[in-house]
Structure 1
Amino acid sequence: MARRLRPVGLDFVEAAPVRHVFTREVAAPVEAVYGALEDVPGWAEWFPQVSAARAVDAGAGRDITLTGGVRFRESVIAATAPELYAYRIDVTNLPGARAIVEEWRLTPAGTGTRVRWTFATDGTAAYRLALKVARGGQARAFRDAVRALERRLAA
């Protein structure tokens, strides 16, 4: 059953009770990485856990389906090329979630890009506990996604 989450803003990234922050560097320039983030359907080609992605509301929102059937209706809350792309989850079927914001920050690193992904969330006690356990899986998912994105941008 899908349910509406609490509408939070970009400040939630720093204030959330649960924050997972992951960073990796890629050889691609910042502008290319940012372009891949804005290319919503392309996410299914480089982020292994994303099975379907489409832009909605003239690009102001996103419909995302993960492998396993978790679904998100998202609102883009920051799109400041080429350094910041962030979205809030508005509706999901993920049990226990109350608020989620994901932020992608890009900074030049030599001729490449430092990619920092912050997953900021709040939820029930059981949800927060499950996220502690899932942190390693999120780290692997991020690593694999950024590697795949780097290969895609090099092609």
Structure 2
Amino acid sequence: MNRNGLNVGDKVIAMWNQADVERQWGMLQYAESKREEGNEMRAAFNFYARQLSFADEYVLTAPKDKRKEMIRNDALPSLLLNQFLTAIDDAVAEVAYQVRLKQPEEVDVTDVVTLVNEAHEACENWFSLIPSQDAEEAVAAVMLKDAK
């Protein structure tokens, strides 16, 4: 329908662009599924986020001033999730590095503790975006399902 008013040349270009967008989307989904295979936390968060998708676009329903604050503070759900996953990946890499040192007296866990704290904070911030009523309704639905 978006192409109805276009001439034939523009319609062909629009179709090529659409095909390219769909190809790239498929490639991104494939790459993400491969990343999920090696990272259970990524898989769990992605699964949860997919269950929350009810439309083709992301709509932030917070008041205007809250939206601006969230954007300024990198507090959007996808950014918080990326912060969490990056901190976890960095912590895993740091632990692997420290293990390779093989000298217990040389092990410094300061960076690992900092990264785990960053991951915890991002995770807490991500879950804080879920209204408590939604969480209560989800728990009630699971309890009802388990009772059957």
Q: TM-score range by the shorter chain?
A: under 0.3
- Of the two, which has the highest radius of gyration? 2
TM-score (norm 1): 0.24
Identify, as 1 or 2, the structure richer in strand: 1
Select the structure with the greater relative contact order (CA < 8 A; seq sep ≥ 6): 1
Identify, as 1 or 2, the structure richer in helix: 2
TM-score (norm 2): 0.25
